[in-house]
Amino acid sequence: MTELRIAAVGDVHLGEDVRGHYRQRLEGIGERADVLLLAGDLTRHGTAEEGRLVAQEFRDLPVPVVAVLGNHDYHSDAQDEIAAELRDHGITVLDDDGTVLEINGRTLGIVGGKGFGGGFAGKCASEFGEREIKSFVRHTRTIAESWQLALKEIEADRKVVLSHYSPIKETLEGEPLEIYPFLGSYLLAEAVDSVGADLILHGHAHKGSEKGMTPGGIRVRNVALPVLGRAYGVYCLNGG
């Protein structure tokens, strides 16, 4: 069966000074990939104006575009406006839910959202102590549970999880250890491993490494633009 070619990038951080430039780097994407996934931090400061710019850069491509937002996209409390702008331009935005695409006679399920932090097994925050700490961890746990449910409910030949925050620490290698709890959480990987998926894509860790794997054996790729060093990476899923 024909393989599915997943193009992905995160942390493009678009601003007015690069208007039109990223669009040029997407030329020919239809010949190299079947879908483009955007792993958050699409803007610099999360303004509605930047959201409109992002929508213009990624609209009307020859492949479907699916996105999640990142922490930068939340900075100005305009995340709902940014998501609406992207959707108005034909871009699917996931918010701890899923979508199914039909590609060359196969179905690709994509589940995910922003994700959140908390750290990794053995060195993580827990729902104990001050209300603020409990809320921090509970937010991640709620997100993980939503992904788990979405993965259970979605029916597709292949499944990809799209996140901004990392589900594993291996793709954070290169970042200072002190900030690992703010870059991701093991709860995200735990949720995906419990149901299963073919690939997890995330961004956020600009100084991290590209490749890793969940404890359950699912491939993880850090697609932050500074890590890739190219407009997008392409990851193939066989069509069997």
Break the chain into its structural domains and give their ranges.
4-237
230, two tokens:
């190219």
pLDDT tens digits, the chain, 240 residues: what are they? 578 999 999 999 999 988 889 999 999 999 999 999 999 999 999 999 999 999 999 999 999 999 999 999 999 999 999 999 999 999 999 999 999 999 989 999 999 999 999 999 877 888 888 988 899 999 999 999 999 999 999 999 999 999 999 999 999 999 999 999 999 999 999 999 999 999 999 999 999 999 999 999 999 999 999 999 999 999 999 854
**Residues paired with 7 in a beta bridge:** 36, 234
DSSP annotation of 86 reads: H
Other CB atoms within a 10 A radius of the CB of residue 211 amount to: 11
User: Which residues on adjacent β-strands are paired with residue 124?
Assistant: 119
Residue 58: how many CB atoms within 10 A of its CB? 22
Domain covering 4-237, topology: Purple Acid Phosphatase; chain A, domain 2 (3.60.21)
Question: What global pTM score does this model have?
Answer: 0.96
**How many other CB atoms are there within 10 angstroms of residue 77's CB atom?**
9
What crossing angle do the helices spanning 186-195 and 131-153 adopt, rounded to 10°?
Answer: 20
Q: How far apart are the first and last CA of the chain?
A: 6
